[in-house]
Chains A and B, each alone.
Chain A
Amino acid sequence: MSSGGMGAHEERFSEIADIGILRSVREKEQQRLSETMPDRPIGETAEALNGLHDALIARAISLAEREMARLGYGTPPVPYAYLLFGSGGRREITFSSDQDSGIVYADASSEAENQANAAYFAEFSRIAVNRLVQLGYPPCEGNVIASNPSWRLSLREWEEKIDGWFAEPSWENVRYLLILADGRAIAGDQALPRMLKDRFYTDVLQTPIIARRMLENTLRHKVLVGVFGQLLRERYGENAGGLDIKYGAYIPMVNVFRLMAVRAGIRETGTLARIGALQEKGLLTPAEAQAATDAFALMVKLRLLTAAKYEDGQWIGSGKIAKEQLTDGLVQPLKRALKFGKFMQRRLEREMRDRYGSR
């Protein structure tokens, strides 16, 4: 797991005990960050935003713990870690994000004790997820969320589950493994998620073919640049003339570098951190790493520009950048970035084909 110190996240808002106030803090801070965005390097805004999200989420989880105590459930019976997956796990949240989360808790000495632990975390996750919804993080549509018992397990159960996914690498199971690769603890114990990742990376080493399966799962999203180097824009609907930055630029890049990192045993969850680690290991040349960093930074910037609507008390990002925002000054570097993304996709694909044969 990357970047520890969740205590620090939580401390930032430690004096706030009311979720409503926390929410108004989020709104105010996001407003401020979006206003100052044009005046500062994009990396700073992205870092500040994710620092904000980390602090808010950690605080909400801490409040959920307190609420449990108040309701008579006591303190957590065993150490646990609250995990974030998806953009939260990668620390790449924009102004809006849904909750992709899970919980891992320590093993019990008896089955009865384990059941008691499960009961505690069931109630705890229900409260935590609800508080986060109140904070403006809608539940994950794919049901990858701590309140779903499939994503809330003891360490041993998690390890069995991971082994099972590796043993039967169906399309869905590989998807779960890729989700897990982005996992990061936002609150609680640090050792548990580390052990989880140990199992994950041991299994990767023992099952090299998994990389091939992961590739099939990650090349599904095509980079939106055509054979003539043209942008493949939205043709219909309210975003016509715009570009699907999320699925046509950002996600393909995330996927490529995640897969490269997983194969190399790199445990960083952030894409930029993965690129850096890949360079250190000599898997990317300095020039490639630079191009990758530039391309990714641009995609992060465009992602921050994509319209974030405020609907039914939640922020909802379309992931698509409007035609008007795609100025001439942006289009050229964007095309360059997309071409680089496509090049990396192809390179990875070729590498896999050479190694494992074509399908």
Chain B
Amino acid sequence: MVKKSLIALGALLVLFPTMAFAEDPSAATLNMGLNALWIMVAGVLVLLMQGGFILLETGSTRMKNAGHVAGKTIFTLGLCSLIYWAVGYGFSFGADAAESLNKFIGIGNFFFDPSLTAGDGDSYPSTIFFVFQLAFAAVSLSIAWGGFAERAKLSSYLIYTILFGSVIYPVIAHWIWGGGWLAEDGSQDYAGSTVVHLTGAMGAFAATILLKPRIGKYNKDGSANQISGHNQVFSALSVLLLWVGWFGFNAGSALAVGDGFFGYVAFNTQLGAAGGAVAALLVSWLFTGKADIPTMLNGALAGLVAITASCAYVEPWAAVVIGLVAGVLVFLSAKFFEKIRVDDPISAMSVHGAAGVWGTLANGFFATKELVEKVGVGKAGLFYGGGGEQLWVQFESVVVCGAYAFAASFILLWIMKKLIGFRVTEEQEIIGLDLSEHGSYGYPEHLKKTGASI
């Protein structure tokens, strides 16, 4: 034990010699280092949210697709990383485009080759910024998979990852975060209710329309059947993982340690999530007579999605209200989509779409003057003397970004559907994608024997 400790200490001294032989770093270097450390931690937290998506999507779907649903998340994370490195990051944040083109898309930094360390005057190294942004793109992509669940061919995941990581997500990210035209208008989307969540949800929406409902979801008379997920414990655990990861997502978006403002962002994030969980459980209990667990879990996520845009712009009481409304909204929205025969197995459209829209619009109501000045984007909201101006900007960015993400996804997926097909065959769907796409079950002991008959 003692020996091991000494070896570890020695190794640390080799790695971080400043600990032993300090030459006092400058305040700027210290500041940069602290920022870098926090953004890196936040980026890792956001990356870990993929674990949440794996459990969420797997838990909300059936056993026969479990291996496929879980495994494809890791595969597409890998592919998305390569695409984002090659072109996505450049389209989002590249600074070489002419001013008129830059309104719509960034150019530069393709096959990103960063400098080894932070340059003079930089707040953080660009490597860490890249990792952080990549993790966001991957989250948005995983949200879209909700619309593909249990019936899309594996090849469609491959193709959509390439398209999403290059021309769908980066364009919207550029518009709002990369100095594009919505950024110029002062659109407030602190950590991505629109950029990340609405974009992903629109991808899911386009996919589910093109794929049509799963076999057995609707009866001939139009009534819906419940296709329960196979593991509610997975789903609950997934929400906890996502909730914790969200501290990286929102508080990390401060991109600085500085005066500790990221703590306020984290604080509001917690309030929003809490409001969503509580409201959703109560509303499902009141309306249906049963307190529905999946609805409550979706409520927590909806609260998080909604507070994502507004966490740095609103007062604590407003964060609670935003969360509560999101919890109610997700319940109503899920009912609505089911009614119009859109089969959304993991409620991506309600959790990330409806709540994403609400969270973005909420800034237009609740953004305070003081916080807007602090963040330095846009104006105060309707309830804080800003008039309807900010609300209009928020509305505009929701409509434009939602329309772009939906249209681009729909057209590209439609072309793919015509060229190579989108959905597995009926037989494959019934057998399960574990077997049809990968040749082995996620739960072999449970399913092998019955495999032939189902």
Contact = CB atoms under 8 A, between A and B. Distances in A.
Interface stretch (A92-100, A151-159, A224-232): A224-232
A237 B221 contact: no
A232 B290 CA distance: 10
User: Main secondary structure on chain A at its contact with chain B?
Assistant: loop
A235 B226 CA distance: 8
A236 B226 contact: yes
Interface in B209-260: 219, 221, 223-226
Interface in B164-188: none
Chain B CB within 10 A, most for which of A228, A239, A240: A240
Contacts of A222: 289
A274 B425 CA distance: 59
Contacts of B219: 237-238
Interface string A236-277: 111111000000000000000000000000000000000000
Interface string A143-174: 00000000000000000000000000000000
Contacts of B21: none
A251 B221 CA distance: 29
A240 B225 CA distance: 8
B286 A238 contact: no
Contacts of B225: 236-237
B5 interface: no
Interface in B279-326: 286-289
Contacts of B226: 235-237
A224 B288 contact: no
Interface in B16-37: none
A107 B286 CA distance: 55
A29 B228 CA distance: 43
A235 to B, nearest CB: 7
A228 B282 CA distance: 13
A228 B219 CA distance: 29
A232 B289 contact: yes
B286 A235 contact: no
Contacts of A232: 288-289
A337 B171 CA distance: 58
Interface size class for chain A? Answer: 10 to 19
A248 B71 CA distance: 43
B287 A226 contact: yes
A230 B287 contact: yes
Interface string A209-232: 000000000000010101110101
Nearest to B222: A240
B223 A226 contact: no
A237 B221 CA distance: 10
A237 B286 contact: no
Interface string A331-348: 000000000000000000
A222 B289 CA distance: 9
B148 to A, nearest CB: 23
Nearest to B227: A236
Contacts of B287: 226, 228, 230
A324 to B, nearest CB: 10
A287 to B, nearest CB: 28
Contacts of B223: 236-241
A236 B289 contact: no
Chain B CB within 10 A, most for which of A226, A227, A235, A239: A235
A226 B224 contact: no
Contact of B221 (A228, A235, A238): A238
B286 A228 contact: yes
A222 B224 CA distance: 23
A315 B367 CA distance: 64
B286 A226 contact: yes
Contacts of A239: 223
Contacts of A241: 223
Nearest to B219: A238
A240 B223 CA distance: 6
B224 to A, nearest CB: 6
Interface in B181-207: none
Nearest to A226: B289
Nearest to B292: A235
A245 to B, nearest CB: 15
Nearest to B288: A232
17 contacts: A222-B289, A224-B289, A226-B286, A226-B287, A226-B288, A227-B286, A228-B287, A232-B289, A235-B288, A236-B224, A236-B226, A237-B219, A237-B225, A237-B226, A238-B223, A239-B223, A240-B223
Given A226-B287, A232-B289, A239-B223, 8 more contacts: A226-B286, A226-B288, A227-B286, A236-B225, A237-B219, A237-B226, A238-B223, A240-B223
Q: 6 closest Cβ contacts across the A-B interface?
A: A240-B223, A236-B226, A232-B289, A236-B225, A227-B286, A226-B289
